[in-house]
Structure 1
Amino acid sequence: MIAFLRGILVDTGTDCVYLDVNGVGFEVTVPPRVLNRVTCIGQEVFLYTYLQTLENEFRIYGFLDEDERQLFRTLLSIPGLGAKTCLGIVSSMTTEELYRAVLAQDEKSLTSVPGIGRKTAQRLIFELQNKWPKTDLIATTASENLRSSWTDTISALETLGFKSSELIPILSQLQAKNELGEAVEENVRKVLRLKGASAKS
């Protein structure tokens, strides 16, 4: 695998850059964010890369940091999501912004990304909740003091038969309203009240 490339920018295309790496020319497909920042012909460019092996070709994708590359790889593993759509998401949202949108099941934020419709947004929410570790999801939305409370609250509710995927959006909603505390019993009662109200509506 080609982990990164460091070379001189020779030219740019509509969705790619051309790098001279010690006399070897590489065409690297990049998200719009990279094209906006890499503009000076002759400048040295460093990109983290991902090599995609297709049926009839190899394609290299380039990113400005490791976080963007990892996000792209995660998105690309979702069935039905093509590289162009994945690049659009990477260019439009940071990893943390995407985490938060998924946790809150915020279809509106996801559909604001060009090329993302409602069905794709729903698929992202469903797939990413299963692909990202629960502890990582918690870490992006809860302060240090509340992380153990999140974990304990989820564990307590899971013993009652609930799934973490349905609990995390409710906890995010409570936290957004500053109604989530460190007392696990109280958090459990609040979640159950919201679940009950949702079932009645």
Structure 2
Amino acid sequence: MYLATLTAENFRVFGARRPPEETGDALELELTPGVTVLLGENDAGKTAVVDAIRLCLLTTAADFYRVTKDDFHVGPGGRADYFTITCRFMELSEEEQGIFLEHLTTDSRGTSSLYISFRAELMDSLPPHRVSVTTRTGPNGEGPTLDGKAREHLKATYLRPLRDAEGELRAGRALPIERLLERAISHLPVLIADTIAEVSS
């Protein structure tokens, strides 16, 4: 299977979804099998895309990502009180269809997809800004929740940005590329690599 679409509404730089005839600020990203590279200027939303996938799928990483009030989009009307992220997986193998059988959505052509929907709600407008989060299946997040075993099959590998390239590539240090290969060998479905700095000669 592969991650075919990613949508996000009211998440950071991405605003609310609007009617089809209007241009909206929500994220609607279509992906293809293979490697995807995001290019763009600073503050264009590249990191928001990466973090949206991290939140929706859970990631194996040393750092824990917790939703904060800064993740909720701020528009002309103020800060949104909720955001949603949805990942759609397609081309599931027979084994994967068996694992996620009760969570699949089948369209009129008989094509099965797996939708994972993450929703966060801001419970307090003032500190401590408590946040409620739920992860469910289905196109609108109205399907059953995933059990632990199914969740494990969706975990993605996240490689944090390599900010100090010279320091982190010194001999004797565990290289991010080594962790990348270890995770790739373990057949995790999605791998997310953030910006890798250029090594100066």
- TM-score scaled by structure 1? 0.25
Pick 1 or 2: higher relative contact order, CA cutoff 8 A, min separation 6.
2
- TM-score scaled by structure 2? 0.25
Structure (1/2) with the larger strand percentage: 2
Larger CA Rg, structure 1 vs 2: 1
Structure (1/2) with the larger helix percentage: 1
